[in-house]
Structure 1
Amino acid sequence: MHMAAGADFSHPYTILEGSYSKENVSGMQNDTENSENLDSLKQMTSGKPPRHLSVIRHSVSTTRLLSAADLDLDVGTVICRSSSDEKSWVLPVLRSGSCAERGPKQYMEDEHICIDNLIEHLDATENFPSPVAFYGVFDGHGGTDAASFVRNNILRFIVQDSQFPICVEAAIRSAFVKADYAFADDSSLDISSGTTAITALVFGRTLIIANAGDCRAVLGRRGRAIEMSKDHKPNCTSERLRIEKLGGVIYDGYLNGQLSVARALGDWHMKGPKGTDSPLSAEPELHEAHLSEDDEFLIMGCDGLWDVMSSQCAVTMARKELTIHNDPERCSRELVREALKRNTCDNLTVIVICFSPDPPPRIEIPQRVRRSISAEALNLVKGALDSYS
């Protein structure tokens, strides 16, 4: 993410290697509305989830799963279904790894979150549907306040929404806007800072991506890159039409001459009063897919990665790494290193989420069968052709 020349960047920031603690979802278990949400979840499925796994940020963890019959849930209207919807498949076994580097910039303004076992993270001890996992990348600009606030609160807004988990898409969309408004109301923070945001929620076999800005999520499907989000650049046709309809302008690819993205949370110096439509929108676009045996992993990254690497290049590289060592954290680290070698100009954050405990299978390309014709047959063909001449 890039601000226009002359934009002010606030205080320095250092990378924190600690885990995403339960304290960040403050008061979640004591909140009445959240208790009602958990009660509604308990009525939907039966069976106690596993409790023996820990969730560690920047590390690999595994989530054991219930049967497909327990978890093949309908979670709202589908926005974007994959071509492999009809394939039967066991539920995913989730493992993730992440890497974040300051890169060539003066400060680190990115934040991210990796929760492979959301059941354990929320301490939902009975009858919570599984598997549920949550991931996010938040690319801050103009300071770290917006990215830090959204990272610490977006999950709380999702699970406490009255529509969760009956209509997950609606809950996520509402949570982005609520987080944006809550950030504006916090007088202790610099509300002129902003952040793009992309989140991934794995809900049984369903993968739901929500994106506002130019972070990107790419699915690796047997070596093929499937983009699960769209970069919200001001010059994108649909974004340009929306911006101009709401009175915004685009100068040299920058929204109102200031920001290189068309959607972001925060940046309240560029937005009108809460509740009004603004050329800079915090509302995410959602894409959904039903995972099949062909879907091997998901890469989530900030624009520092995608500015120097195509989606297909990242998937090809990640797949090659995983076939060698099967370590998503090491894989994310290699993607970051490659982006640095390619002279990225931004902070770098990459998450790799694997859907199986096994490495991707090697793709065997069938060899071309060479066919030959005997001299006798060749003469017969030649004679037949001559007879027609």
Structure 2
Amino acid sequence: MKVFDGHGGVDAASFTKKNIMKLVMEDKHFPTSTKKATRSAFVKTDHALADASSLDRSSGTTALTALILDKTMLIANAGDSRAVLGKRGRAIELSKDHKPNCTSERLRIEKLGGVIYDGYLNGQLSVARALGDWHIKGTKGSLCPLSCEPELEEIVLTEEDEYLIMGCDGLWDVMSSQCAVTMVRRELMQHNDPERCSQALVKEALQRNSCDNLTVVVVCFSPEAPPRIEIPKSHKRRSISAEGLDLLKGVLNEL
């Protein structure tokens, strides 16, 4: 599964969509080390964008991929798209938004000589990591504040892990991760159709006046709809939802 959010034209996003997963599977480290293969594929794709004379060098794209082998899922992200796991109603963020103002990204950018103007890297891009954008990166091999290196997150899926939401920043600009997870779970319990869930998230983001591109993918890990979360019986009325109760339990368990 993959999500790309292009800027400066469609060239980089279209090229990356066609090639990046193929490069992962062709890498010498695949499948023994999917992390090395994925990281290598991001860099190779970025360099291929620089070498392709037919492509616009000012075109760039964020890249978010999810690769599942057996019960292991690897999330790779470069840019401000986001992957969120639905875990019995709780939202677990599996990627970090690479915004220039993010502390770790800002420190990396400034260390490499870059600057941030009004939230934009070198006054030009609203993301700190992307593939392409060779009009900013300069020449291959040179250190550049705009990185194509993905951040990786690997997890082993369990029975509590119900679905994955992947979306570009047009969704997350107007909706929290927990809101999206709660909405998808409710939709799945009604019709168990992940495609309709994706459409519902896009529709909701538009109603919330999202002003950016909207790409959303929902992937279910089971053919069955999520089960209802049982609330312990009590004589006292509760004002917290089942999803909220499960979220609270998860937070307490992590303390």
Aligned length in residues: 236
Residue 6 (structure 2) aligns with: 140
Pair 1:362-2:253 in alignment: no
Provide the C-alpha distance between the structure 1 equivalents of 2:235 and 2:202, rounded to a whole number of angstroms. Answer: 41
Residue 155 (structure 1) aligns with: 21
Provide the C-alpha distance between the structure 2 equivalents of 1:151 and 1:202, rounded to a whole number of angstroms. Answer: 18
- Amino acid corresponding to residue 98 of structure 2 in structure 1: H
Residue 285 (structure 1) aligns with: 151
1:272 to partner: Cα distance: 2.8
Structure 1 stretches lacking a partner, 5+ long: 1-134, 371-389
- For residue 228 of structure 1, the aligned residue among 94, 99, 107 is 94
Provide the C-alpha distance between the structure 2 equivalents of 1:333 and 1:207, rounded to a whole number of angstroms. Answer: 24
- For residue 204 of structure 1, the aligned residue among 67, 70, 81 is 70
- Amino acid corresponding to residue 64 of structure 2 in structure 1: I
Residue 239 (structure 2) aligns with: none
Provide the C-alpha distance between the structure 2 equivalents of 1:215 and 1:154, rounded to a whole number of angstroms. Answer: 16
Structure (1 or 2) with the greater helix fraction: 2
1:210 to partner: Cα distance: 0.1
1:365 to partner: Cα distance: 1.0
1:368 to partner: Cα distance: 2.1
Residue 302 (structure 1) aligns with: 168
Structure 2 stretches lacking a partner, 5+ long: 237-255
Residue 313 (structure 1) aligns with: 179
Provide the C-alpha distance between the structure 2 equivalents of 1:367 and 1:335, rounded to a whole number of angstroms. Answer: 32
Once the two structures are superposed, residues 314-367 of structure 1 have per-residue CA deviations (whole angstroms, 9 ceiling, x without a partner) of: 000000000000000011110110000000001111000000010000011113
Residue 260 (structure 1) aligns with: 126
Pair 1:342-2:208 in alignment: yes
Provide the C-alpha distance between the structure 1 equivalents of 2:24 and 2:163, rounded to a whole number of angstroms. Answer: 24
Residue 387 (structure 1) aligns with: none
Provide the C-alpha distance between the structure 2 equivalents of 1:154 and 1:217, rounded to a whole number of angstroms. Answer: 18
- For residue 104 of structure 2, the aligned residue among 238, 251, 267 is 238
1:369 to partner: Cα distance: 4.0
Provide the C-alpha distance between the structure 2 equivalents of 1:192 and 1:319, rounded to a whole number of angstroms. Answer: 39
Provide the C-alpha distance between the structure 2 equivalents of 1:203 and 1:306, rounded to a whole number of angstroms. Answer: 27
Q: How does 1:1-389 map to 2 (within 5 A)?
A: 135-369=1-235
Larger radius of gyration: 1
1:193 to partner: Cα distance: 0.6
- Amino acid corresponding to residue 345 of structure 1 in structure 2: C
User: Sequence identity, in percent?
Assistant: 73
Residue aligned with 1:348, SS:
coil
Once the two structures are superposed, residues 179-220 of structure 1 have per-residue CA deviations (whole angstroms, 9 ceiling, x without a partner) of: 000011000110211000000001100010000000000000
Residue 119 (structure 1) aligns with: none
Provide the C-alpha distance between the structure 1 equivalents of 2:44 and 2:106, rounded to a whole number of angstroms. Answer: 25
- Amino acid corresponding to residue 317 of structure 1 in structure 2: M
Provide the C-alpha distance between the structure 2 equivalents of 1:337 and 1:355, rounded to a whole number of angstroms. Answer: 23
Supply the RMSD in Å over aligned alpha carbons. 0.8
State the TM-score, normalizing by the size of structure 2: 0.91
- Amino acid corresponding to residue 43 of structure 2 in structure 1: V
Residue aligned with 2:29, SS:
coil
1:265 to partner: Cα distance: 0.3
Provide the C-alpha distance between the structure 2 equivalents of 1:316 and 1:155, rounded to a whole number of angstroms. Answer: 30
Residue aligned with 1:287, SS:
strand
- Amino acid corresponding to residue 294 of structure 1 in structure 2: E
